[in-house]
Every structure is written in structure tokens, then in C-alpha cells.
Chain A
Amino acid sequence: MSVQPIIEVTQLTKRFDAVTAIDHLSFSVMPGEIFGLLGPNGAGKTTAIQLMLGLITPTSGTVCLFGLDIRKHRRAILQRVNFSSAYVALPTNLTAWENLYVFARLYGLRKPRRKITTLLELFEMPHIAHTVTGALSSGQLTRLHLCKAFLNDPEVLFLDEPTASLDPDIAAKVRQTLRQMQRERGITILYTSHNMREIESMCDRVIFLSRGSIVTQGTPQDVMTRAHTASLEDVFIRIARDGRLQDIAEAPEALKEPS
């Protein structure tokens, strides 16, 4: 029996008045994959994630998670997924423990003490449990957000630039923990980042968006091979500048590898 996609996006379109933010987007993510949703600012990544989470209603097309339509089964789906974004915060005037306790209850955990303790230990920060969230460093905050994201043992995790604003050491630790969690629990991760080296090391497959449409997709290696380049960063820059992936022969001189 073939494995069904855990996320299936079909002909998804979102228009805000005259602006088409997402244009007939179709892709699927298989269980256990780390899937990169990439593109320059304004490409439609955040809108796509918010459509997938039912925060925005699509103009047309469908999003299914676990085979369920997000428009009809949003609450059931949200119970099985979680989300963390560098642009969304937790209440700064609550302690780390209080924040996790509140969200654990929002996700239906009646006795979450052990779960919170385990997660704080996993992310190496049991000592900050009773520290006010506003007093935490960026690295601690990111890890606290990830603790929150793992509270309900999600089957799918949406991570919007999870390592933005982290120093390289903390970012590497976060990536290591995420990979470990993904291996141990078989979680599917939908990942956005502007750090292309991170994407190369983290993602099984990627899609690049520009103006709401897919420009290229595949494994990071496939994408680089098709673009005749040695890094995803080159692919990113070419898409950011041209809105499409032109052949390397047409690429601006500055982007070509020195001979």
C-alpha cells in the first residue's frame, strides 16, 4: 500500500484584492520529511503557511493535512500540529513555566508538569523555568518556543525561520535537536529559512517560491544540479533577482563561479 502525503496542497490560490499572493500552488509533503518552503521576502511563504494552518481562507484550492480538509476540520488538525515562528512571541510577563503550562492546557494536556519538565531538559534549560520570559536571551526564547511547539507531540511541525536571530552556536544546537526529534519521533517538519546552508543540511526536499508560484523543487542536490550551481544560496539569489531560475549561461556575471 502506498504512503499517503501528510500535507497535500492542491491548486491553492489566494488573492488580496488585485494582488495574487499565492498562485495555483500544488505540492505534497510525505510523512517524516523535512520540507523547505523557500523564497525571497514577499514570495508567499508566510501566506502559504497561514493558508495551510487555516489562518487565512483561500480564494480557491484546497489544503489537506492527514487527509482532512483544513477548512472543515481545522480544530482536529490543529490538535495534531504545532507552530513556531521567529515573528510570533510568547507573553513576556509570564515565566517560561507559566507560558508552557498555559499552552499545554490549550493543547488539551490535563497534567502537563512532567511533559514541561522533560521538554525543558531536552532543550537544556530547566534552570530558566521560573524566569520571566521577557528576561530570556534570544537563544533561550527560541528554545522556549520550540518547547511550546513540542508540547502536544505534533505529527507536523511548522517552523517559520526558527533560527533567525540566533548566534551560530545556538542555531547549530537547535538544528541538532530538531533533527534528533525528527529521527526519534518521525515528525514531519515544514521549514522556512533564509539561511540556505541550514536548508541544505536540514531539508529532504525544498520548493522555491516567487510571486506565489513554484519556481523549482526537489531535493536540495537536485535543485542545485538543475541550476548548475554548487549552493542553494546561488539559486536563492537568482530567483530573488529575476523571479525565475534562468539558466546559468544567462545568469549575471556576478553570480557565476570564478573560473
Chain B
Amino acid sequence: MWLRVSALLLRYLFLYRRSKIRAGEILFWPVMNLILWGFVTAYFKRLVLPEAVVFLLGGLIFWDVLFRSQMAITLSLTEEIWVKNLLNIFLAPIRIVELLLATCLMGVIRAVANVIVLGGVAYLLYAFNLLTIGLALVPFLASLLLFGWALGMCTMALMIRFGQAAEALAWGVPFLVQPVSAVFYPVDVLPGWLQTIAYLLPSTYVFEGMRAVLQTGSIAVSMLLTALALNLVYLALGAAFFGWMLQQARERGYLSRLGMQ
């Protein structure tokens, strides 16, 4: 029995030895969870509870928009790899921008569906009305969608470069930015150096803006504009990174390997 158990054990260990990404994943989730909920706890210590619940629910719904937007892009690619359809797609006469646009639109559909469902459930179960955010809801959600697209493009680029070993990134990348995006707590809970990083992310301005609207009823237009400007930068970087990785994949034959593995 031990022989077969050890053989299977070795099979899994060989897998981790072959892929640093998979190996890193073992630590990734627990560490990220610890960081995230640690900050939440720190925030709760300072806050009146009813407000915290409202912010948490708003944060959860808004976070889901970013997450679904990124996931829609990466899962489209993952799905094609799983069903071995990737080469059929890349050998059809489509432009890369068309491929990206289609996946981005899929992100919009998924995100809108999620906002409607989650907003409805939050209203029914917790009497939390997402519409109290008012008209600012539209640019807030649009900003998160755009950032999700940028993250999705970067993830897709890494998956094309590193193949199936990088599939875990499809789920993992949004959680890299979650702790520093101030999703469930304000930015000032973070240490100074992390605040600097946080303010480089458009998502931070959205979550801060959402809390400000829920707390004071006023919209910080400057925050929305900063988020939009940062989004444009990240989208350009994401598209350029994807284009570069695709070129690398064509030169090194990764694309065909990925499509047939």
C-alpha cells in the first residue's frame, strides 16, 4: 500500500517541483486571507458596528464586480485551453483586439448580472440598498470593470506564456490587489508604505469613494477622475503586456503547445 501512496505523493511533489507557480499557490491563499481579515479586524476595533456592516456589504458587491470582470476574461482563455479549442480560435481570421473585446464584454455581462443578484439579495436579507449610492454607482462600477479588464489581460498574457501551470492565476490575481485596494476597510488602516501602493490602484479610489458616499452622501469627483485616469494607464499597460507575451508565444511556439496539450 505504501508503495502506491508514495508513488502518488511523488507524482504531486513532481508537479510542484515543475511549477513554481503551483508551489507558490500553497502559501498564497492562507497568507492573503490572513492579511485581509487582519486588516478587517483592525478596522472593526475602531468602528461603530452598523456602519461597518453597510460598508462590508457595499465592499462585497463592488469587489465582486472587479473579480467577475477579471474572471470573465481569464476563464474564456482557460476554457479554450481545457477543451483544446484554442488553435481553432487563433487560426480564425480574428484580430486580437476583437478577442479581447469579446472577453471584456463577457465580463460586463457577468458583472451586471452579479450586481443585480447581489444587490437584490443584500436588500432583501440585510435591508442594504445599493441604489443609495445614487448616480455615482455607474462610474464606480465602470471603473471596477475597467480595472478588472486590465488585470484580466495581464493574467491572460501570463497564461499564454506559462501555459497550464499558470491557470491558478486566473483565480489568484484579483486577490493580490484585494488587500491593498481597501475593499473592506479604509486606506488609512494600512501601513504607510502600503498606502502608497494602494493609491496607485484605481480600485482603491472606488472603494474609498463608495464609503464616502454611504457615510456623507457626497461624491468625490476627484476620486472618480483619478480612478478613470489610472484605469486608462493600466488598460494600456495590460494590452501592451498581452501583445508582447503573444508575440513571445508565437516566436517560441507556446501558443501551439498550449492549444494541443
Contact = CB atoms under 8 A, between A and B. Distances in A.
A76 B94 CA distance: 10
B83 A47 contact: no
Contacts of B92: 78, 103, 106-107
Interface in B80-98: 80, 83-95
Contacts of A21: 253
A147 to B, nearest CB: 13
B251 interface: yes
Interface size class of A (residues with CB under 8 A): 20 to 34
Nearest to A152: B93
A75 B95 CA distance: 8
B77 to A, nearest CB: 13
Contact of A57 (B88, B91, B251): B251
A90 B88 contact: yes
A83 B95 contact: no
B87 A55 contact: yes
A52 to B, nearest CB: 11
Given A75-B93, A79-B93, A88 B253 contact: no
Interface string B211-255: 000000000000000000000000000000000000100111101
A90 to B, nearest CB: 6
Interface string A89-129: 11111000000000100111000000000000000000000
A148 interface: yes
B259 A88 contact: yes
Nearest to B80: A91
Nearest to A83: B91
Interface string A1-25: 0000000000000101000010000
B84 A88 contact: yes
B260 interface: yes
Given A46-B256, A55-B87, A89-B84, A106 B251 contact: no
Interface string A39-57: 0000000110010011111
Given A55-B255, A55-B256, A57-B250, A87 B94 contact: no
A231 interface: no
Interface string B79-118: 1100111111111111100000000000000000000000
Contacts, number: 70
Nearest to B90: A55
Given A78-B93, A91-B83, A106-B94, A56 B256 contact: yes
Interface size class of B (residues with CB under 8 A): 20 to 34
Contacts of A140: none
Contacts of B83: 89-93
A28 interface: no
Contacts of A90: 83, 85, 88
A85 interface: yes
Contacts of B94: 75, 106
A21 B84 CA distance: 23
A69 to B, nearest CB: 15
B247 to A, nearest CB: 8
Most-contacted residue by chain A among B89, B255, B260 (CB, 10 A): B260
B253 A78 contact: no
B85 A88 contact: yes
A93 B252 CA distance: 31
Given A83-B91, A103-B88, 15 more contacts: A16-B252, A16-B253, A21-B253, A46-B256, A47-B253, A56-B256, A57-B247, A75-B94, A75-B95, A88-B87, A88-B260, A89-B85, A91-B83, A93-B83, A108-B93
Interface of B: 79-80, 83-95, 247, 250-253, 255-256, 259-260
14 contacts: A16-B252, A47-B253, A50-B256, A55-B255, A56-B250, A56-B255, A83-B88, A87-B84, A88-B84, A88-B86, A89-B83, A89-B85, A91-B83, A93-B83
